[in-house]
Chain A
């Protein structure tokens, strides 16, 4: 009886296996690289966290674009350093049009500040889609909330006012610098992770003014638009005065633009495909009315003009950032040299030699049983020293510089390790530190490293199949039928869930990529 059941099982299993292999073969062998653009979802890389206007722009765009194309747009938030993190992501990917950079004028400020012209040139500025006037928002619940009051307060307390907003050196910051410059006042810029968090600080009365766009003030009656940088009052915000009305002529055309960029070198036919889509989306009534409510002008400026505009912005930013000392100064001197290049490598080598010889000394001493513990302390100390030396090179700024907090952690890490070192020396007992089968762990680490290398050549699916079989065998599992079923099931699962559903681009391997 049992035999019959087993036979039936084997047959069923074989059938299932055959089916799985057929399906896998089908998907793996269908050549995919030659289809027309776009053949998979496009990522819109947003340089800010979700919820901000650029994020909304990207998401709204992907919603409206769905009317005109079948391709799915996936918004991916890559916040960090005012757009540099997102830029790196786009630039490191191939120039195949699948990573669309949702850009704003703020990026230009950051690019100029960090990478100079190089960063601006790394992208093709494909289209500018909207222009959004800059404005000053205050907290209507605070006594000082009209622009004349803010101004008077600033003159009474020079350099004391806290202005809140997103990242330092971004457009809003530079606009603030410009405003301070034109009016001859001084204040502090307190950067937050997002405009939303800065607004929360304003509502919490931690700052006196926020620089952003009129739309930021929607939805919360406590937020008050004190001044708008536009030639005339905005239709959507008829109560908000312009700078011109408030007696300042030079601040009538400060605006934030938003648009899209692609990695430089993207084929022209892909850019054409985008141009066509941008034209359709920007003419869409839903798109226009959505932005009109926020006082935002919907435009469409194609690459030819947009690139010129970007170049001009870059010049203006450079001027203001230099003038206000934001472009960081580099540390100099003998110590600074130690932090980079050959001297740093020599330092590293010296530390490792010291560590190894100290370890050998301990190995030959009465503390031999505690060798591992001492070596761990050594590793933490080496890392602390290397990081400390690196931090010498960080530019210093007027407030708390980028080196301060890492040094604070190191300043606690080193004494803690020295304390532990003393305590370890006081120990009399030697404990057995290793289990009986260190060899298995080491072989598995070897397997895993080999697996990762195989993956580069043979792709994720084949190498994973092999990895699971080898590890099962190595651990003493000898049921071959189950072994095959387990590894095939895993491959199928990862294919369906990760590769197909979540669009995780699991590597297919050099072998397969070159074959098709």
Chain B
């Protein structure tokens, strides 16, 4: 333990220079912008900057990349709250309650809570990474494909409580998302599925255009249909920010979601998104005011943001301890390490402790700088909500078009975004929730490949013979059934 602290001291002393602090600040600023822009994801932001880090020292390069990664996870929530256009898939959950708050004229509350929960979550994730990465990594290795499948199913069952009395429609949406996800080349066998011979479907539908269409565009269509576009948005003049006691009330939610986020973040793939959905679900089920969820609950915002930001710490655990990437962004970090002739893995702790601990110390620091930049920044981007809708709507259309084009530089994605927008408008009219489609598209691949892998390895029974997988499936079944039974009880 003393060695750990002396190493951390070493790391901190490295970070305490002018250059590292400036690097972190720059990284955080760029990350916020990348996260907030629909069409730019954290992993794209990190990947774009990798070439710029060649000339830097390995530690500095990693610090920059990690700062971007952390800040981008927060940045996604800004557009989720202000214009209902989640910048990243994991901030979809933030939009559930963040955007209703904006509609009520209280975007300040949502932005404040999302910033503080993000930073607290980020710091808790980092602390868990520092102190428990060893045992957690060993635990993660035992995770069998059957358990990945069970986790994906668990993530899907959150749809039951998301949908409330519309649970059938919520499940239809989720299954539709899963089915959409099977379009393209099958990752296991390489067969092309449902492409109808169209080559632009080989890669399937990209997530971001679907996200922009289903959330941002369909929301505008709905508001246009309501005819209330000429009214100036409610939030002008004095803004309401959360008070210290409001934050204090959220402490359990933030802490719980941060722990859950870190643990779920360890598992490669869609860690941050699954974490946000599950944590939101748990927050809703344990809340004293579950009826406020989806209508502007601060607990909901805190649960989502705490979980998706803390998942960064979790995703770094397998990277640092085993050299195995936990998410797309950390995979890019591995590349950055290798470029600098460092082989990630347990031996890096021994051969280059200054890099590992410099990285860990800078993670803590990046979160603090994120809090500061976010604090001043919030005063700036809250102004988005004071733009008259007549001006805001055309601009959101413009952002959506360019954002969906930028994902793969393809017009197909722009057309898909528009189609998803119109489809989402119909779904909203008939009370289908749109978020389950995104959840299905995120989870589809994990669920399918691990389902097949597990069966190939040990046959059909494996899901029920492994205790962890069975346990998770039982929890999933309960989390599916409980809200339905409750809904039935309330009815009668």
Contacts and interface: CB of A to CB of B under 8 A. Distances in A.
Contacts of A221: 346-347
A227 B103 CA distance: 64
Contacts of B192: 81
A58 to B, nearest CB: 9
B202 A88 contact: yes
Given A50-B325, A444-B221, A452-B411, A406 B193 contact: yes
Nearest to A501: B48
Nearest to B329: A50
Contacts of A82: 190
Given A220-B323, A490-B398, A92 B199 contact: yes
Interface stretch (A7-15, A24-32, A295-303, A429-437): A429-437
Nearest to A456: B411
A242 B54 CA distance: 36
Interface string A383-408: 11001001100110101111011100
A204 B430 contact: no
Contacts of A169: 190
A449 B398 CA distance: 13
A440 interface: yes
Contacts of A448: 397, 401, 418
Interface string B244-255: 000000000000
A122 interface: no
Contact of A56 (B171, B175, B199, B338): B338
Interface in A451-508: 451-452, 460, 464, 467-468, 471-472, 475-477, 482, 486, 490, 494, 498, 502, 504-507
A50 B190 contact: no
Nearest to A199: B324
Interface centre among B268, B345, B398, B405 (most CB of A within 10 A): B398
Contacts, number: 287
A380 interface: yes
A63 B54 contact: yes
A73 interface: yes
A498 B37 CA distance: 11
Interface stretch (A126-134, A178-186, A190-198): A190-198
B3 interface: no
B324 A490 contact: no
A394 B322 CA distance: 38
A193 B449 contact: yes
A55 B465 CA distance: 38
B395 interface: yes
B175 A413 contact: yes
Contacts of A144: none
Nearest to B230: A476
Contact of A196 (B199, B227, B325): B325
Contacts of A56: 335, 338-339
B222 to A, nearest CB: 8
B452 A399 contact: yes
Given A63-B54, A81-B186, A445-B422, A506 B47 contact: no
A402 B225 contact: no
Interface centre among B202, B224, B426, B449 (most CB of A within 10 A): B224
A246 interface: no
Interface in A202-248: 203-207, 218-221
Interface in B340-354: 341, 343-348
Interface in A409-454: 409-410, 412-413, 416-417, 419-420, 423, 433-438, 440-441, 444-445, 448-449, 451-452
B336 to A, nearest CB: 8
A402 B457 contact: no
Interface residues of A, number: 113
A504 B171 CA distance: 36
B157 to A, nearest CB: 13
Contacts of A138: none
Contacts of B398: 464, 467-468, 490, 494
B144 interface: yes
6 contacts: A84-B202, A88-B203, A200-B268, A221-B347, A376-B432, A410-B179
Interface of B: 40, 43, 47-48, 50-51, 54, 141-145, 168-169, 171-172, 175-176, 178-179, 182, 184-194, 196, 199, 202-203, 220-222, 224-227, 229-230, 268, 318, 322-325, 328, 331-332, 334-335, 338-339, 341, 343-348, 388-391, 393-395, 397-398, 401-402, 405-406, 409, 411, 414-415, 418, 422, 425-427, 429-430, 432, 447-449, 451-453, 455-457
Q: What are the 3 closest A-B residue pairs judged by CB atoms, nearest first?
A: A219-B345, A219-B343, A81-B185
Interface of A: 49-51, 55-56, 59-60, 62-63, 66, 72-75, 77-78, 80-82, 84-85, 88, 92, 110, 113-114, 162, 167-169, 188, 190-194, 196-197, 199-201, 203-207, 218-221, 290, 328, 372-373, 376, 380, 383-384, 387, 390-391, 394-395, 397, 399-402, 404-406, 409-410, 412-413, 416-417, 419-420, 423, 433-438, 440-441, 444-445, 448-449, 451-452, 460, 464, 467-468, 471-472, 475-477, 482, 486, 490, 494, 498, 502, 504-507
